[in-house]
């Protein structure tokens, strides 16, 4: 830490829902943060920050930041500033009354990924002891991929990220590191320098293609078919690893599944060429060891589980599991270093996250009367925004804890202002590497703002649960460090001094035991990899079929400019929709023109951006646009589940473009159909 007369530099760990979990260096001048940069001493951050975090001060100091509780005035219908005492008494009285009248299941606590710090787990503990209340199940983000890897391997983790330096091939399968995990870029560049060949398999052209020697623009959702073609060709070439039967269950059935169609039929389904299939075969076997980096986007489809399971199987039969430089990496087990067993998970009822609005509206015995929202913006971020709005508007009590008036907070009965990532006191793992870090406030929150922990402690006091959630943020951090971690000598003090690689994570996942060549450590019932094998998948896992009525698939993807719905610089609407020029030409429109984007459930005004590198069956829109600005993709996306794992098929919404007269430009909001 350096110090001049009034300027200090303080470090913290970014708590955003991002794989990188960076170490931030904040320059603080007279109590105000004046600059944010990446910590040069952190092995992953490597001295730079992404666009959204380097521009975060716009958000931190935005006039729109909420610094006092807001309560809806029953007469005027407006949200009005009130004291914390009034706000908390109101919340406590309402929660206690609803619990007494309808039972705790009538209260739904929804927590999402606004912060990935561990301390807000105490909010879950409060609601468990106050109830237990209704909580969410499933996962909007990674439900399908989590399920796939857990079924196949029994463990969802990755080899060390720097093990990529041992790879000869890296397949970025549906992954845009430029947007979603920029700190992978230097690692991938170094891997390339050491001789790795990079291939991108993605229906969308994006900047990550510039890192790769080849890009395969598979049909959206065509990855299952592509994986089957590759598996079949590898078999035909005698490239399945000789010992596969020793660590894989269902090998003959998997073989039969890849033979359900000819290679040509699979490639037609996937809309790739035979040469592209051969390229992947070559990358997996001739240029092994190969790592498949499985992106998080691809699983958000109706065949998402089948796709990720097919990639797991490819990694297994091609002999790339358990070896340095090999693997099928979807997730780094970011919670492995923490013990949250103080929460028992005893909820009486669950709401399926991707079906949030519908489930709330349908809940009976008792109906859901109150929704408490921690670190989430379900209106903008969950599918079918208009259903979510309807569900929240019709509840008796909606409490939102946030720092800004999100689309969701605007509907609340009560909004409670919380701290930002620069004011957080927390401990974090990461889902893109194995380093642990602590967040320490680089500045105190503005007067009137409390942390999630302080808010829940103040509420607990009013309902007789003070003891349950008592303790400072640091006390809770110490309590949550897994005993397994402390056995390895990792302490909070050590984490405060700098990032620590979790000693619990092995450098090479599923490494063979000494003296053996068979990958090991699969936590499935049989101890073997479970190869995907249901014969019905030969047709059931086909890519979505697009008809002439709705010829495009809406892909609402991460943009480097924002973190989900948190924009440091809010774009002005209408939302930019990127399509191939032929798609615009079909309705007589061109670059910069307005058009109406229609799904089966809603429509919105968009401004067209043309990009010749895109497929003609996709329409690309930034994820996280706000509903009130008419930029929210989820207004158009129907709520539907993935094939298993209760993820959301966010990217399977068929849409079409219609011309819109320039005179209608003013009406830029999205409307239910
Ligand atoms: N700047 C920024 N960074 C973020 C976020 C953000 O909003 N902004 N969000 C964060 C969050 S919440 C998460 S979960 C992570 C991961 O965030 P994600 O947005 O899931 O990131 P990716 O893993 O890059 O996956 C997206 C890629 O999947 C591709 N894809 C979609 N469908 C298919 C398909 O059918 N087949 C194939 N092969 N590819 C497909 C898309 O074209 C895209 O390139 O990133 C985090 N990082
Ligand atoms: N159409 C479409 N929808 C998507 C996606 C997509 O790709 N396309 N991606 C999905 C994915 S991967 C994800 S993870 C979800 C993300 O969905 P959310 O987790 O709901 O996303 P955020 O916009 O990050 O909203 C979090 C809210 O938490 C607030 N917040 C930030 N820090 C804190 C804190 O410390 N405490 C509290 N109480 N609040 C805080 C923020 O201000 C913000 O309003 O969206 C999903 N929705
Ligand atoms: Mo996510």
- Report how far residue 495's alpha carbon sits from residue 424's, in angstroms, rounded to the nearest whole number: 15
What is the three-class DSSP state of 424?
coil
Mean pLDDT across 303-317 = 98
Q: What percent of the chain has pLDDT over 70?
A: 97
Residue 454 Cα, ligand 1 centroid: separation in angstroms? 33
Question: What is the 8-class DSSP label of residue 203?
Answer: S
What per-residue confidence (pLDDT) applies to 663?
60
Q: What is the pLDDT of residues 168-206, one digit of tens each?
A: 999 999 999 999 999 999 999 999 999 999 999 999 999
Length of the chain: 673
What per-residue confidence (pLDDT) applies to 482?
86
The CATH code of domain 70-134+355-501 reads: 3.40.50.740
Q: Which of 189-198, 411-420, 462-471, 563-572 bottoms out in mean pLDDT, i.e. has the lowest?
A: 563-572
Mean pLDDT across 539-554 = 97
Output the residue whose Cα is nearest ligand 2's atom 14.
141
The tokens 């075969």 sit on which residue?
281
Decide if 565 contacts 380 (C-beta within 8 A): yes
Cα–Cα distances (Å) from 540 to 223, 257, 560, in that order, read 13, 12, 34
Instruction: Select from 3.30.390.50, 2.50.20.10, 2.60.200.20, 2.40.40.20 the CATH code of 545-670.
Output: 2.40.40.20
Is 557 near ligand 1, meaning CB less than 6 Å away?
A: yes
Residue 465 Cα, ligand 2 centroid: separation in angstroms? 29
Is the pLDDT assigned to residue 346 strictly greater than 50? yes
What per-residue confidence (pLDDT) applies to 6?
83
What per-residue confidence (pLDDT) applies to 670?
46
Mean pLDDT across 449-474 = 98
Mean pLDDT across 291-315 = 98
Of the candidates 169, 171, 175, the one whose C-alpha atom is nearest the C-alpha of residue 197 is 169
Decide if 151 contacts 309 (C-beta within 8 A): yes
What per-residue confidence (pLDDT) applies to 513?
95
Mean pLDDT across 69-95 = 97
Is the pLDDT assigned to residue 635 strictly greater than 70? yes
Beta bridge mates, 373: 110, 400
| Pocket probe mutation, ligand 1, options 44, 116, 174, max atoms within 8 Å of Cβ | 174
Is the pLDDT assigned to residue 352 strictly greater than 80? yes
Is 221 near ligand 1, meaning CB less than 6 Å away?
A: yes
Residue 144 Cα, ligand 1 centroid: separation in angstroms? 14
Is 418 near ligand 2, meaning CB less than 6 Å away?
A: yes
Dihedral over alpha carbons 365, 369, 374, 377 (to 10 degrees): 100
CATH 3.40.50.740 residue spans of the chain:
70-134+355-501
What per-residue confidence (pLDDT) applies to 472?
98
The CATH code of domain 144-330 reads: 3.40.228.10
Decide if 357 contacts 639 (C-beta within 8 A): yes
Residue 179 Cα, ligand 1 centroid: separation in angstroms? 8
Per-residue 3-state assignment (H helix, E strand, C coil) for 276-328: HHHHHHHHHHHCCCEEEEECCCCCCCCCHHHHHHHHHHHHHHCCCCCCCCCEE
Is the pLDDT assigned to residue 307 strictly greater than 50? yes
Is the pLDDT assigned to residue 668 strictly greater than 80? no
- Report how far residue 608's alpha carbon sits from residue 611's, in angstroms, rounded to the nearest whole number: 10
Residue 141 Cα, ligand 2 centroid: separation in angstroms? 10
What is the three-class DSSP state of 557?
strand
Instruction: Select from 3.20.20.70, 3.30.200.210, 3.90.180.10, 3.20.20.140 the CATH code of 7-60.
Output: 3.30.200.210
Is 130 near ligand 1, meaning CB less than 6 Å away?
A: no
Is the pLDDT assigned to residue 669 strictly greater than 50? no
Is the pLDDT assigned to residue 277 strictly greater than 90? yes
- Contacts by residues 268-275 (CB-CB < 8 Å, ≥ 24 positions apart): 269/219, 269/222, 269/225, 269/542, 269/543, 270/218, 270/219, 270/222, 270/223, 270/225, 270/226, 270/229, 270/543, 271/217, 271/218, 271/219, 271/222, 272/216, 272/218, 272/219, 272/222, 272/226, 272/229
What per-residue confidence (pLDDT) applies to 671?
47
Mean pLDDT across 416-423 = 98
- Per the prediction, the chain carries an average pLDDT of 96
Q: What is the pLDDT of residues 372-409, one digit of tens each?
A: 999 999 999 999 999 999 999 999 999 999 999 999 99
Residue 335 Cα, ligand 1 centroid: separation in angstroms? 21
Decide if 16 contacts 115 (C-beta within 8 A): yes
Kindly identify the ligand whose nearest atom is closest to the C-alpha of 199: 1
Mean pLDDT across 291-314 = 98
Is the pLDDT assigned to residue 430 strictly greater than 80? yes
CATH 3.30.200.210 residue spans of the chain:
7-60
Is 637 near ligand 1, meaning CB less than 6 Å away?
A: no
- Report how far residue 254's alpha carbon sits from residue 232's, in angstroms, rounded to the nearest whole number: 10
Mean pLDDT across 495-524 = 96
Is 178 near ligand 1, meaning CB less than 6 Å away?
A: no
Atom of ligand 1 nearest to the CA of 561: 1
Is the pLDDT assigned to residue 665 strictly greater than 70? no
């Amino acid at each position: 830490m350096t110090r001049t007369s009034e300027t200090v530099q303080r470090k913290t760990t970014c708590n955003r829902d991002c794989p990188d979990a960076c170490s931030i260096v904040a320059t603080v001048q007279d109590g105000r943060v004046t600059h944010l940069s990446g910590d040069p001493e952190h092995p992953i951050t490597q001295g730079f920050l992404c666009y959204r975090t380097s521009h975060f001060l716009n958000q931190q100091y935005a006039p729109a930041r909420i610094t006092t509780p807001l309560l809806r005035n029953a007469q005027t219908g407006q949200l009005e500033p009130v004291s914390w005492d009034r706000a908390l008494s109101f919340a406590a009285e309402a929660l206690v009354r609803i619990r007494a009248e309808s039972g705790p299941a009538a209260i739904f606590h929804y927590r999402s990924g606004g912060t990935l710090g561990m301390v807000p787990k105490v909010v879950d503990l409060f609601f468990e002891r106050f109830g237990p209340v209704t909580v969410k199940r499933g996962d909007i983000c990674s439900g399908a991929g989590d399920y796939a890897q857990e079924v196949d391997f029994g463990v969802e983790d990755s080899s060390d990220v720097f093990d990529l330096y041992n790879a000869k091939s890296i397949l970025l399968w549906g992954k845009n590191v430029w947007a979603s995990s920029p700190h992978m870029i230097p690692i991938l560049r170094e891997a390339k320098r050491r001789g790795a060949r990079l291939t991108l398999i993605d229906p969308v052209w994006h900047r990550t293609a510039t890192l790769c020697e080849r890009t395969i623009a598979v049909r959206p959702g065509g990855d299952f078919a592509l994986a089957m073609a590759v598996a079949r060709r590898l078999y035909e070439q005698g490239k399945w690893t000789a010992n596969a039967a020793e660590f894989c269950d269902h090998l003959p059935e998997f073989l039969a599944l890849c033979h359900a169609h000819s290679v040509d039929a699979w490639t037609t389904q996937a809309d790739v060429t035979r040469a592209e299939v051969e390229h992947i075969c070559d990358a997996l076997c001739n240029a092994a060891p190969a790592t498949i980096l499985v992106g998080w986007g691809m699983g958000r489809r109706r065949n998402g589980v089948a796709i990720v399971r097919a990639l797991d199987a490819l990694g297994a039969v091609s002999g790339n599991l358990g070896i340095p430089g090999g693997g099928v990496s979807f997730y780094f087990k970011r919670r492995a270093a923490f013990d949250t067993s103080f929460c028992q998970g005893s909820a009486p009822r669950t709401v399926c996250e991707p079906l949030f609005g519908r489930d709330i509206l349908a809940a009976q015995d008792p109906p859901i009367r109150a929704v408490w929202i921690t670190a989430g913006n379900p209106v903008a971020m969950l599918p079918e925004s208009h259903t979510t709005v309807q569900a929240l508007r019709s509840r008796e009590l909606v409490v939102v804890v946030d720092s800004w008036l999100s689309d969701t907070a605007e509907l609340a009965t009560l909004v409670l202002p919380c701290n930002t990532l620069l004011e957080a006191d927390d401990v974090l793992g990461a889902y893109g590497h194995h380093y642990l870090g602590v967040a320490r406030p680089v500045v105190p929150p503005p007067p009137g703002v409390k942390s999630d922990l302080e808010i829940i402690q103040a509420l607990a006091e009013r309902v007789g649960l003070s003891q349950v959630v008592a303790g400072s943020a640091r006390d809770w951090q110490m309590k949550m460090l897994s005993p397994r971690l402390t056995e390895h000598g990792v302490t909070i003090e050590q984490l405060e001094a700098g990032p620590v690689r979790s000693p619990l994570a092995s450098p090479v996942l599923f490494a063979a035991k000494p003296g053996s060549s068979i990958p090991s450590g699969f936590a499935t019932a049989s101890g073997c990899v479970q190869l995907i094998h249901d014969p019905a998948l030969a047709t059931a896992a086909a890519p979505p079929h697009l008809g002439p009525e709705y010829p495009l698939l809406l892909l609402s993807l991460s943009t480097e400019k924002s973190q989900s719905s948190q924009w440091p610089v809010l774009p002005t609407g209408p939302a930019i929709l990127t399509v191939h020029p032929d798609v615009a030409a079909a309705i007589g429109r061109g670059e910069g023109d307005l058009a109406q984007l229609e799904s089966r459930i809603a429509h919105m005004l968009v401004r067209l951006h043309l990009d010749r590198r895109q497929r003609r069956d996709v329409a690309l829109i930034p994820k996280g646009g706000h509903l009130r600005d008419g930029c929210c993709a989820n207004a158009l996306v129907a709520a539907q589940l993935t094939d298993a794992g209760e993820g959301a098929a966010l990217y399977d919404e068929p849409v079409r473009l219609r011309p819109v007269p320039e005179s209608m430009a003013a009406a830029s909001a999205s409307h239910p159909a």
